[in-house]
């Protein structure tokens, strides 16, 4: 802990720190003598971590530590080597300021300093936590984390709004962007692939805001999702058949409902001999096929030039001889280009879309097409959708935090001016009002698959018959 008037034991420890700093290799730091009434080291660390003391110490000595670091010498070092290189600097700096810390506190301080120097500051513990899916920074003392579907406030804090802005720009600099008053919004990607959105004043009224969707290192596959109760085994088998048979599939759902996870899981069943072109705003897909060409959009520069949109990439993808085209997300006028691409000899297309129900997904596609083609007749738009899209898979994050497939819907065609669909599978709720958990069963509607002919043409007729038995 920081003290203004060190006692004799504290002065002795400071000398020990200085002696350790002069030694060729620092093995261990001295633990301060226990004062009367002072909690044991383990309890002290817990108490200290729950206050602002270490953060204040870190902020106080950070400029001094930075002045003593040779940035070039740190290049290529592992995290453990970096921590070891910081040790003598931290020991000497704390000793000069007569700051009393035990071994565990010094270790925490070194890690916190390293996070500020080469990492993303206070966000590093959350980024390293494999159970965290989303990180939402609203204010210096308001950082939320979603763990296993539950969004809760974390104990992570920033010094002030300037500190948040500093970390935000550190993230944006990784992809050659920056945020300030002239460019107050930016999308970026962390080194591990996690997706980041940053918005700052004057658009963000209460100060800079950072939203991070973490990139999962372990790709979920359909059997994993079945084991988690996200869908039934029969639904998984149908999805596998639909993917093999090159049906055009839309995965619909709200924010954080598991759309990209499902898209990654379905991609496992694409023939490895197919040439796949993926198009995304921020690369998140984890396809394991050998013949994949990932494309990513590019925003305009400060002069407003150089932008490359999803529509631009779709047009270019058609010249790349793709067997399949996969869009990470469709949310604008590129929807019309996507329908054109899926309907011009590139069967088996897939995309995700923000919508809460299958019928809303179809309506939203109509609206997105109209955005770029306002004079296009409504019936013609609906005809295009009905002839192109085969299956809509609806995913949802429920109140218990679990993500489930709630509907698998087949697009049949047109009746008059209306697109007709039929439900193949759905999740039937059986709610327990006394609990926050959600229970239910996955049911097959019993309706015949209109896509059966396409499935048989793909040589999977027997698989479909076995599924229906």
pLDDT in tens, 422-442: 999 999 988 665 567 788 999
Residue 67 has pLDDT above 80, yes or no: no
Same domain for 156 and 295, yes or no, is no
User: What is residue 252's predicted lDDT score, i.e. its pLDDT?
Assistant: 98
Same domain for 107 and 143, yes or no, is no
CB 216 within 8 A of CB 201: no
Average pLDDT over residues 256-282: 93
| Better-predicted residue by pLDDT, 21 or 222 | 222
Residue 115 has pLDDT above 60, yes or no: yes
Average pLDDT over residues 168-186: 87
User: What is residue 375's predicted lDDT score, i.e. its pLDDT?
Assistant: 87
User: What is residue 46's predicted lDDT score, i.e. its pLDDT?
Assistant: 36
User: What is residue 261's predicted lDDT score, i.e. its pLDDT?
Assistant: 92
Q: 186 in helix, strand or coil?
A: strand
User: What is residue 75's predicted lDDT score, i.e. its pLDDT?
Assistant: 66
Total domains present in the chain? 3
| Better-predicted residue by pLDDT, 78 or 310 | 310
User: What is residue 37's predicted lDDT score, i.e. its pLDDT?
Assistant: 31
Q: Among 55-69, 150-164, 229-243, 302-316, which range has the highest average pLDDT?
A: 229-243
- Whether 367 maps to a domain, the answer reads yes
For residue 31, give the nearest of 42, 46, 47 by alpha carbon.
42
Chain-centroid distance, C-alpha 328: 13
User: What is residue 284's predicted lDDT score, i.e. its pLDDT?
Assistant: 82
Same domain for 276 and 310, yes or no, is yes
User: What is residue 190's predicted lDDT score, i.e. its pLDDT?
Assistant: 86
Tell me what percent of the residues of the chain surpass a pLDDT of 90: 49
| Distances in whole angstroms, Cα of residue 246 to Cα of each of 326, 413, 454 | 12, 18, 8
- Whether 370 maps to a domain, the answer reads yes
Residue 26 has pLDDT above 60, yes or no: no
Residue 32 has pLDDT above 50, yes or no: no
Average pLDDT over residues 373-395: 94
- Residue that finishes a domain, picked among 73, 94, 118: 118
Predicted confidence band at 41 (pLDDT cuts at 50, 70, 90)? Answer: very low
- Whether 295 maps to a domain, the answer reads yes
- Whether 22 maps to a domain, the answer reads no
Same domain for 368 and 313, yes or no, is yes
Average pLDDT over residues 71-89: 74
For β-strands 150-153 and 276-280, DSSP reports them as unpaired
Average pLDDT over residues 221-240: 95
- Whether 24 maps to a domain, the answer reads no
Same domain for 243 and 363, yes or no, is yes
User: What is residue 47's predicted lDDT score, i.e. its pLDDT?
Assistant: 38
| Better-predicted residue by pLDDT, 444 or 94 | 444
| Better-predicted residue by pLDDT, 197 or 56 | 197
- Residue that finishes a domain, picked among 67, 97, 118: 118
Dmax over CA atoms of the chain, in Å, equals 92
pTM, to two decimals: 0.76
- Whether 183 maps to a domain, the answer reads yes
Same domain for 238 and 347, yes or no, is yes
Same domain for 255 and 335, yes or no, is yes
User: What is residue 369's predicted lDDT score, i.e. its pLDDT?
Assistant: 93
Give helix then strand counts, H and E, for the chain: 17, 15
Q: How far apart are CA 426 and CA 280, in angstroms?
A: 29
Reading the block at residue 103, the tokens are 């071994």
| Better-predicted residue by pLDDT, 446 or 210 | 210
Same domain for 114 and 260, yes or no, is no
Average pLDDT taken over every residue of the chain: 83
Average pLDDT over residues 348-369: 96
Same domain for 290 and 331, yes or no, is yes
Reading the block at residue 143, the tokens are 């950082």
367-398 per-residue burial string, b: 16 or more CB within 10 A, e: under 16:
ebbbeeeeeeeeeebbebbbebbbbbbbbbbb
- Whether 21 maps to a domain, the answer reads no
Span 389-402, pLDDT tens digits: 999 999 999 888 88
CATH of the domain at 183: 3.30.450.90
Residue 317 has pLDDT above 60, yes or no: yes
Same domain for 127 and 195, yes or no, is yes
Reading the block at residue 435, the tokens are 């609990």
User: What is residue 211's predicted lDDT score, i.e. its pLDDT?
Assistant: 96
User: What is residue 92's predicted lDDT score, i.e. its pLDDT?
Assistant: 80
Average pLDDT over residues 394-422: 94
Average pLDDT over residues 287-292: 91
User: What is residue 45's predicted lDDT score, i.e. its pLDDT?
Assistant: 35
Burial of 466 (C-beta count, 10 Å sphere; 0-12/13-18/19+): exposed
- Residue that finishes a domain, picked among 95, 118, 141: 118
- Whether 11 maps to a domain, the answer reads no
User: What is residue 432's predicted lDDT score, i.e. its pLDDT?
Assistant: 65
Q: Among 74-83, 119-128, 187-196, which range has the highest average pLDDT?
A: 119-128
User: What is residue 377's predicted lDDT score, i.e. its pLDDT?
Assistant: 92
Same domain for 448 and 323, yes or no, is yes
Same domain for 256 and 368, yes or no, is yes
Q: 307: domain range?
A: 222-430+437-468
């Amino acid at each position: 802990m920081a003290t203004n008037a060190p006692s004799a034991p504290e002065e002795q420890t400071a000398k020990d720190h200085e002696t350790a700093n002069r030694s060729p290799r620092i093995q261990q730091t001295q633990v301060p003598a226990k004062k009367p009434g002072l909690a044991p080291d383990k309890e002290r660390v817990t108490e200290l971590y729950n206050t602002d003391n270490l953060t204040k110490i870190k902020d106080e000595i950070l400029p001094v530590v930075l002045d003593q670091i040779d940035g070039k010498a740190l290049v290529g070092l592992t995290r453990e080597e970096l921590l070891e290189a910081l040790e003598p600097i931290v020991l000497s700096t704390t000793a000069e300021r007569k700051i009393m810390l035990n071994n565990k506190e010094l270790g925490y301080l070194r890690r916190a300093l390293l996070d500020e120097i080469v990492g993303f500051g206070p966000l590093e513990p959350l980024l390293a936590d494999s159970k965290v899916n989303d990180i939402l920074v609203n204010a210096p003392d308001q950082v939320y984390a979603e763990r296993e579907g539950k969004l809760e406030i974390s104990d992570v804090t920033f010094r002030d709004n300037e500190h948040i802005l500093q970390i935000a720009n550190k993230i944006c600099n990784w992809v050659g962007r920056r945020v300030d008053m002239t460019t107050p919004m930016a999308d970026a990607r962390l080194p591990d692939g996690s997706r980041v959105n940053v918005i700052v004043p004057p658009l963000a009224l209460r100060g800079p805001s950072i939203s991070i969707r973490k990139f999962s290192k372990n790709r979920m596959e359909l059997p994993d999702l079945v084991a988690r109760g996200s869908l039934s085994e029969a639904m998984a088998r149908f999805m596998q058949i639909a993917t093999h048979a090159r049906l055009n599939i839309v995965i619909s759902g709200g924010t954080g409902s598991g759309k990209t996870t499902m898209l990654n899981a379905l991609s496992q069943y694409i023939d490895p001999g197919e040439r796949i072109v993926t198009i995304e705003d921020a690369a998140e897909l984890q396809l394991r096929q050998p013949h994949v060409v990932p494309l990513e959009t590019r925003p305009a520069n400060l002069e407003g030039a150089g932008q490359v949109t999803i529509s631009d990439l779709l047009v270019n993808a058609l010249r790349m001889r793709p067997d399949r085209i996969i869009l990470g997300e469709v949310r604008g006028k590129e929807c019309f280009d996507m329908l054109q691409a899926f309907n011009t000899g590139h069967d088996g297309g897939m995309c995700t879309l923000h919508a809460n129900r299958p019928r809303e997904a179809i309506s939203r596609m109509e609206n997105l097409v109209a955005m770029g083609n306002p004079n296009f007749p409504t019936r013609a738009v609906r005809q295009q959708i009905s002839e192109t899209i085969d299956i809509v898979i609806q995913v949802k994050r429920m109140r218990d935090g679990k993500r489930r497939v709630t509907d698998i819907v087949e697009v049949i065609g047109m009746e008059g001016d209306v697109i007709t669909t039929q439900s193949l599978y759905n999740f039937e709720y059986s709610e327990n009002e006394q609990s926050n958990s959600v229970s239910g069963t996955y049911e097959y509607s019993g309706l015949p698959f209109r896509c059966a002919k396409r499935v048989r043409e793909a040589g999977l007729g027997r698989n479909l018959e076995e599924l229906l038995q």
